[in-house]
Amino acid sequence: MTDEELNVLVRDCPYLYHMAMRQSWPSIQRHGLLPTNLLLDLWEIEGDERRELITRRRPVSVTVSHPKHGEAVVRDQIPMHDHHLAKCLRDGLTPRDWHERLNERVFFWLTDARLERLLCANAYKRDEHIVLKVDTASVISEYRDRIELCPMNSGCTMPYPHPRGVDTFLPINKYPYAQWREKRSARETVVELTVIGGAPNIIDHVEEVSVRTCGATIEVLYSRA
C-alpha cells in the first residue's frame, strides 16, 4: 500500500471499531487494549492455564483473576474451529500457530457494518458489549510500525474456512491494496486492522465508547465531542 492509497483508506474508513466484553471498560481505561498474551502476563497466568488460553481455541469466554487487577475476561472464539483451521491453513502453519498469531494482537473493524454483523451474530446478539470508536488516522500515526492489515475475518472459519497463511496479516507497506480494490468496494479493501502488542494508550485515540447490542446503542459512556 502506498501512502496515497493509505490516505484513501483513511478517508473511506475514518473510524475503527473494537468490541469488548461489557465489563471490560474499567480495565481498558487503566491498561489500554491488551492482546491475550500480554493480558495473561499482567494477570500472571502461567503454566497449563496460560498454554491452553494461548494455543487452543476457546469455546467459551474465560474469566481470570488477580489480587491487584481484579477480574478480566478472555473472549471466546466460537466462530473458529481447529478442524476447519487444519484444512485451510497454508505455509506449514498449524492451528496452534494461528492461535498464537491471533493472541498477540488486538483487532479493529474498519466499518460499523462489520461491527454490527458481529454484534448480531447468534453467539453475541443477546449480550451487551463495549464498543470503542477510534480515529483511524490517529491510531495509524501512533502504531504504524506494529500495525498489520488483514483482508478477512481472521477469527472465523464458518460457514467456509477461507485459506489463510503467513501473508494473511501484512504490514501497511506490503498490503496489496490495489489488488483488493479491484475485487471489492472501497470500504472492504481491508477487513481488520490489527496492532501487535496492543494499544496501551488507546484512550488517546477514542472518539466514543458506548454500550451496544444488536441494532441498538444502550448507553454512551464517553464521548470526545
Q: How many domains does the chain have?
A: 1
Cell of 2: 502506498
Number of neighbours of residue 71 by Cβ within 10 angstroms: 11
Query: Mean pLDDT, the chain, as a whole number?
Result: 95
pLDDT at 34: 96
Decide if pLDDT at 225 tops 80.
Answer: no
Per the CB < 8 A criterion, the answer to whether 212 and 131 are in contact is yes
Q: Is the pLDDT of residue 167 over 80?
A: yes
Amino acid at 161: P
Tell me what pLDDT residue 139 has.
Answer: 98
What pLDDT is attached to residue 181?
96
pLDDT level of residue 148 (50, 70, 90 thresholds) = very high
Query: Can you tell me which residue has the cell 481505561?
Result: 29
pLDDT-wise least confident of 22-31, 45-54, 129-138, 193-202: 22-31
Structure confidence at residue 47 (pLDDT): 96
Predicted TM-score of the model (pTM): 0.95
Instruction: Please confirm whether the linkage preceding 159 is cis (ω < 30° from 0).
Output: yes
CA distances from 7 to 2, 10, 54, 109 (A): 9, 5, 35, 17
What proportion of the chain, given as a percentage, has pLDDT over 70? 100
How confident is the model at residue 128, as a pLDDT? 94
Cβ neighbour number for residue 219 with a 10 Å cutoff: 9
Phi, psi dihedrals of residue 68, rounded to the nearest 5°: -100, -45
> What distance in Å separates the CA atoms of residue 157 and residue 131, rounded to the nearest whole number?
23
User: Residue 11 is part of which domain span?
Assistant: 3-223
Q: Is the confidence at residue 123, as pLDDT, over 90?
A: no
pLDDT digit string, tens, across residues 67-121:
999 989 899 999 999 999 999 999 999 999 999 999 999 999 999 999 999 999 9
List the CATH number of the domain containing 109: 3.90.210
Q: Is the pLDDT confidence value at 3 over 80?
A: yes
Q: Are 85 and 165 in contact (CB under 8 A)?
A: no
Confidence tier at 160 by pLDDT (50, 70, 90): confident
Predicted pLDDT of residue 180: 97
DSSP 66-132: ETTTEEEEEPP-TT--HHHHHHHB-TT--HHHHHHHHTTEEEEESSHHHHHHHHTSTTTTTS-EEEE
Residues in CB range of 200: below 8 A, 6 or more apart: 31, 32, 33, 34
Spatial distance between the Cα atoms of 188 and 177, rounded to a whole number of angstroms? 10
**What are 23-50's pLDDT values in tens digits?**
889 999 999 999 999 999 999 999 999 9
Q: How far is CA 40 from CA 65, 71, 124, 128, in A?
A: 10, 11, 24, 24
